[in-house]
């Protein structure tokens, strides 16, 4: 399976980016001397070195792992081993302090990528010219849309009563529970949880756990976790006990915004009394450890303005750190991929393909292996098209024998109010089948019904 349109030609992009009629790099902006071997160094720069001759040793392909990873031609992060989650930390009433006044972790605001307001061209734009088509804010903003929106005319007391009746007496009315939780935002679910305790003197989560089991229980409890807490809990679970689910660390730490990362770090400390950076260092090592520690800072540049000259320079530096030398300067890749904004990285990917005659994802596959390779690729994939990254994660959670239900639940729940509409669209484009069709064939019962209700089927 090939990622749609990658390398960059025809790749689903940020809406309006690059601007209509504008090539990247802009026409006649970069003039390279002809150099044998196709390597165009920056004239007079520190990278003006002789081109390489022949092939350098590299990782031709990817390490094999249980479950058939990596998928053919994709090179995307692998999957944690299937298996149920342990008991949720904090007991039945997770997320609600004794006073019942609310959740101790910060609740993230509506997620957006990029920024609003006029976008100014950097002063150092190559050639000192402005493109004929000015960049608009939409050109550098990742459009988002969730399948779950806040319910209008919301009444927490009415919903609490519906859930109470659904669990009272003999048997459980699972459909009534599905109808409520799949049509309320996370913030509204927190209000229902608090109101339920006020009205009945009982803990809603404890009641739900007593009535449900298996994947349905896991999905319902995930939906009632505040978003920041769920990310923090998933990270703690991935590092707790024997073994580490590295792909969970990659999926969360390499895809969230600065604000989300900072709130996760704070929540991890307040809820579990632990420092996430310390736990990451204890459970990982080498260049992978350094990449995740960089991600834990939540300090990526989020300026939406693209500096094309810097993109060209970064592409040149990455070439010299990998394909252009014997061995790999891993710190250069870490520095650029951990600090540059996603729109800036997208421009760097496109500039790199002009310099190296090879796409940057392919280079990372040749120069790195294992978890650090997956982490670096995840960052680039999010820069190119974040919903497509999650679409592929969902596909490989259900592909083949067995289903990785924890990954399926985590992505469906965490993206349901952010960009699940776009994920569905990309899923169909990439795999020629709908997400709902694949969910229907891989799951069953009330669990399937609730998943389909969340994805909007």
Spell out the per-residue pLDDT of the chain, length 457, in tens.
455 545 544 334 434 334 444 443 344 333 333 333 333 333 333 333 333 333 333 333 333 333 333 333 333 333 233 333 334 443 444 544 433 434 456 555 544 443 333 323 233 323 333 233 333 333 333 446 999 999 999 999 999 999 999 998 778 899 999 999 999 999 999 999 999 999 999 999 999 999 999 999 999 999 999 999 999 999 999 999 888 999 999 999 999 999 999 999 999 999 999 999 999 999 999 999 999 999 999 999 999 999 999 999 999 999 999 988 778 899 999 999 999 999 999 999 999 999 999 999 999 999 999 999 999 999 999 999 999 999 999 999 999 888 999 999 999 999 999 999 999 999 999 999 999 999 999 999 999 999 999 998 6
Beta bridge partners of 318: none
Domain membership of residue 142 (yes or no) is: no
Question: In total, how many domains does the chain have?
Answer: 4
Q: Do residue 446 and residue 393 come from a single domain?
A: yes
Q: Do residue 268 and residue 290 come from a single domain?
A: yes
Residues 312, 347: contact at Cβ < 8 Å?
A: no
Q: Do residue 395 and residue 451 come from a single domain?
A: yes
CATH number, domain containing residue 170: 1.10.220.10
Rounded CA separation 409/412 (Å): 5
Domain membership of residue 160 (yes or no) is: yes
Rounded CA separation 316/324 (Å): 9
Residue 69 three-state SS:
strand
User: What's residue 262's pLDDT?
Assistant: 97
Domain membership of residue 262 (yes or no) is: yes
Q: Do residue 240 and residue 280 come from a single domain?
A: yes
Beta bridge partners of 313: none
Domain membership of residue 61 (yes or no) is: no
Q: Do residue 194 and residue 234 come from a single domain?
A: no
Does the N-terminal peptide bond of residue 7 adopt cis geometry, omega within 30 degrees of 0? yes
> Residue 383 to residues 11, 121, 165, 336, 439: CA-CA distances in angstroms?
12, 20, 46, 13, 27
User: What's residue 3's pLDDT?
Assistant: 52
Q: Do residue 312 and residue 293 come from a single domain?
A: no
Q: Do residue 207 and residue 264 come from a single domain?
A: no
> Residue 46 to residues 163, 189, 407: CA-CA distances in angstroms?
67, 57, 45
Question: Residues with Cβ < 8 Å from 87, sequence gap 6 or more?
Answer: none
Domain membership of residue 441 (yes or no) is: yes
Domain boundary (334, 350, 384) is at 384
Q: Which domain holds residue 184?
A: 156-212
For residue 95, how many C-alpha atoms fall within 13 Å in the half-sphere facing its CB? 28
Q: Do residue 312 and residue 342 come from a single domain?
A: yes
Domain membership of residue 161 (yes or no) is: yes
Q: Do residue 293 and residue 313 come from a single domain?
A: no
Domain boundary (297, 330, 349) is at 297
Domain membership of residue 115 (yes or no) is: no
Residues 333, 321: contact at Cβ < 8 Å?
A: yes
Q: Do residue 322 and residue 359 come from a single domain?
A: yes
Q: What is the pTM of this model?
A: 0.72
Residue 142 three-state SS:
strand
Buried b (16+ CB within 10 A) or exposed e, 104-131: ebbebeebebbeeeebeeeeebbeeeeb
Domain membership of residue 267 (yes or no) is: yes
């Amino acid at each position: 399976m090939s990622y749609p349109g990658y390398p960059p030609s025809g790749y689903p992009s940020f809406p309006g980016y690059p601007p209509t009629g504008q090539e990247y790099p802009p026409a006649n902006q970069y003039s390279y001397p002809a150099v044998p071997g196709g390597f165009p160094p920056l004239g007079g720069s520190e990278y003006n070195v002789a081109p390489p001759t022949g092939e350098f040793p590299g990782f031709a392909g990817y390490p094999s792992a249980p479950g058939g990873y990596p998928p053919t031609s994709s090179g995307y992060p692998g999957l944690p081993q299937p298996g149920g989650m342990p008991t949720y930390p904090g007991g039945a009433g997770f997320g609600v302090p004794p006073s019942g006044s609310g959740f101790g972790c910060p609740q993230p605001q509506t997620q957006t990528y990029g920024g609003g307001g006029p976008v100014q061209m950097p002063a150092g734009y190559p050639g000192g010219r402005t493109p004929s088509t000015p960049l608009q804010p939409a050109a550098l903003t990742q459009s988002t849309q969730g399948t779950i929106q806040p319910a209008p005319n919301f009444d927490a007391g009415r919903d609490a009563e519906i859930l109470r009746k659904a669990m009272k007496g003999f048997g459980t009315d699972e459909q009534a529970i599905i109808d409520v939780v799949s049509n309320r935002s996370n913030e509204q679910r927190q209000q229902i949880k608090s109101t339920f305790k006020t009205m009945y003197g009982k803990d809603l989560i404890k009641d739900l756990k007593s009535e449900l089991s298996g994947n349905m229980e896991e999905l319902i409890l995930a939906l009632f976790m505040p978003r920041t807490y769920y990310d923090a809990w998933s990270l703690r679970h991935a590092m707790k006990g024997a073994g580490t689910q590295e792909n969970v660390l990659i999926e969360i730490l390499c895809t969230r915004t600065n604000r989300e990362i900072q709130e996760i770090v704070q929540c991890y400390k307040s809820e579990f009394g632990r420092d996430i950076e310390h736990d990451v260092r204890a459970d990982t090592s080498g260049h992978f450890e350094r990449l995740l520690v960089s991600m834990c800072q939540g300090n990526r540049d989020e300026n939406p303005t693209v500096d094309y000259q810097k993109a060209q320079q970064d592409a040149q530096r990455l070439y010299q750190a990998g394909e252009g030398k014997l061995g790999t300067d891993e710190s250069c890749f870490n520095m650029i991929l951990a600090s540059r904004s996603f729109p800036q990285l997208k421009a760097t990917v496109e500039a790199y393909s002009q310099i190296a005659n090879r796409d940057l994802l392919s280079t990372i596959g040749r120069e790195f292996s294992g978890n650090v390779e997956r982490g670096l690729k995840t960052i680039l994939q999010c820069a190119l098209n974040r919903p497509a990254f999650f679409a592929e994660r969902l596909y490989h959670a259900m592909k083949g024998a067995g289903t990785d239900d924890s990954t399926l639940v985590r992505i469906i729940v965490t993206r349901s109010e952010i960009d699940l509409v776009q994920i569905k669209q990309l899923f169909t484009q990439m795999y020629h089948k709908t997400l709902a069709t694949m969910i229907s064939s891989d799951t069953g019962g009330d669990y399937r019904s609730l998943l389909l209700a969340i994805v909007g089927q």
